């Protein structure tokens, strides 16, 4: 298929269908590697992964008799595609730091939460994939895009983000989280480790993020490190991952949250999750890839994150000047309130506290297993 033909595909509605099917086949292509590498040794159980006609935002994992079933909603791939389509025109070389160091979005009030109709379809609930698809086609997919610069990246980034989530879900399975959930629900000796139930729920997610990121990089390495080492492929992967992972976290974060909520609830803010990703990925690259690549990875990953934050902010203010009700702060993309906190002392403190809890959680886990 020529570039022009693919472009036509993309601009016509059929891109959505094609993209979902491609995500499915990309996911399918990953499976044998996942099984061989992690599953049989870690669990001795079968893991089925299926793309389903679900309009949701995230994957679901079920214990399925003698194995596991991971459901990947088509809605998730569609929403990611739409969000990247929204963000990528704002991909820019402009200096990002004024936005993410002192974001005007730092000061916000939940009452001001408001999503412009032109992008609401990405974040709304729908009963069916078809309904979601129609909602996106009427709104986000009518927004202008300069595909000459970006078109080929959207699908790749969606695939990367799906892989990231898949590795997160599989980490829940391989790290024995389903058994741990029972322990948390029964509040089994958590206080001996100075953990609340909500702390423990967040630790499950952090644990899955850390292990999942390791396996995610491992799979990227398999693609990039097939000898001879392909520097271009590696660079491209790092750039895509650097942008796609924060975009995904932003998608999930949209319906959340006040800055203080995670202190007492189960919620992990995206900047915390992003930092876990950045640190785990960096270590994994150092271990799994040729020398020097960690430096390149770190720079590109950080750059992708900055650009993603900048794009979230830019689209927020851009839409705000178009259709914002006067009494509302423009708030289409809630996650990036945390963008402004990402480098400051408050976030660092929260992050260290969470990592400290994760250590205590792992000590608690040992007492359950032994």
Contact positions vs Zn ion (CB under 5 A):
205, 208
Positive or negative, the Cα torsion across 252, 37, 28, 72? negative
Cβ proximity to Zn ion: between 81 and 175 the closer is 175
Q: How far is the CB of 276 from Zn ion (least distance, A)?
A: 12
Q: How far is the CB of 141 from Zn ion (least distance, A)?
A: 29
Q: Parallel, antiparallel, or unpaired: how do β-strands 67-73 and 46-52 relate?
A: parallel
Q: How far is the CB of 172 from Zn ion (least distance, A)?
A: 6
Cβ proximity to Zn ion: between 94 and 261 the closer is 261
150, two tokens = 């970006």
Would you mind telling me the total number of residues written for the chain in this entry? 370
Q: How far is the CB of 212 from Zn ion (least distance, A)?
A: 8
Q: What DSSP string runs through 333-364?
A: -GGGGGGGGTTSHHHHHHHHHHHHHHHHHHHH
Q: How far is the CB of 168 from Zn ion (least distance, A)?
A: 6
Cβ proximity to Zn ion: between 86 and 203 the closer is 203
Q: How far is the CB of 205 from Zn ion (least distance, A)?
A: 5
> What is the spatial distance between Cα 337 and Cα 342, in angstroms, rounded to a whole number?
9
The upper half-sphere exposure of residue 9, i.e. CA atoms within 13 Å in the direction of its Cβ, equals 15
Cβ proximity to Zn ion: between 211 and 316 the closer is 211
277, two tokens = 């990703």
- What is the DSSP secondary structure assignment for residue 36, as one 8-state letter? I
150 touches 88 (CB < 8 A):
yes
112 Rama sector, left if φ>0, alpha if ψ -120 to 50, beta otherwise:
alpha
Cβ proximity to Zn ion: between 155 and 205 the closer is 205
Q: Which residues face 48 on adjacent strands? A: 69
Cβ proximity to Zn ion: between 76 and 86 the closer is 76
């Amino acid at each position: 298929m020529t570039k022009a033909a693919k472009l036509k595909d993309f601009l016509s509605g059929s891109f959505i269908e094609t993209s979902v099917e491609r995500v499915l086949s990309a996911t399918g292509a990953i499976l044998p590697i996942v099984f061989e590498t992690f599953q049989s040794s870690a669990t001795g159980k079968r893991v089925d992964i299926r793309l389903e006609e679900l309009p949701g935002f995230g994957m679901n994992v079920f214990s399925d008799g003698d194995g596991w079933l991971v459901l990947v909603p088509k809605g998730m791939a569609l929403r990611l595609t739409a969000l990247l389509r929204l963000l990528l025109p704002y991909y820019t070389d402009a200096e990002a730091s004024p936005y993410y160091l002192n974001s005007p979005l730092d000061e916000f009030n939940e009452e001001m939460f408001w999503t412009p109709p032109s992008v609401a379809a990405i974040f709304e609930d729908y009963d069916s994939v078809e309904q979601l698809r129609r909602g996106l086609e009427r709104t986000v997919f009518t927004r202008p895009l300069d595909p000459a610069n970006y078109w080929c990246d959207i699908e790749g980034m969606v695939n990367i983000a799906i892989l990231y989530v898949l590795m997160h879900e599989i980490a829940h399975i391989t790290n024995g989280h389903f058994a741990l959930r029972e322990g948390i629900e029964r509040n089994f000796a958590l206080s001996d480790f100075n953990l609340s139930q909500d702390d423990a729920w967040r630790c499950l997610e952090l644990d899955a993020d850390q292990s999942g990121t390791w396996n995610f990089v491992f799979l990227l390495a398999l693609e990039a490190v097939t000898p001879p080492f392909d520097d271009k492929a590696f660079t491209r992967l790092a750039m895509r991952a650097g942008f796609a992972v924060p975009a995904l976290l932003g998608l999930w974060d949209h319906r959340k949250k006040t800055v203080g909520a995670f202190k007492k609830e189960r919620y992990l803010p995206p900047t915390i999750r992003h930092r876990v990703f950045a640190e785990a990925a960096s270590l994994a690259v150092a271990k799994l890839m040729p020398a020097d690549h960690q430096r390149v990875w770190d720079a590109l990953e950080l750059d992708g994150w900055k650009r993603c934050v900048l794009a979230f902010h830019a689209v927020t203010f851009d839409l705000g000047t178009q259709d914002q009700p006067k009494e509302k702060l423009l708030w289409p993309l809630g996650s990036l309130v945390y963008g402004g906190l990402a480098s400051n002392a408050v976030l660092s403190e929260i992050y260290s506290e969470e990592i400290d809890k994760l250590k205590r959680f792992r000590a608690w886990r040992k007492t359950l297993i032994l």
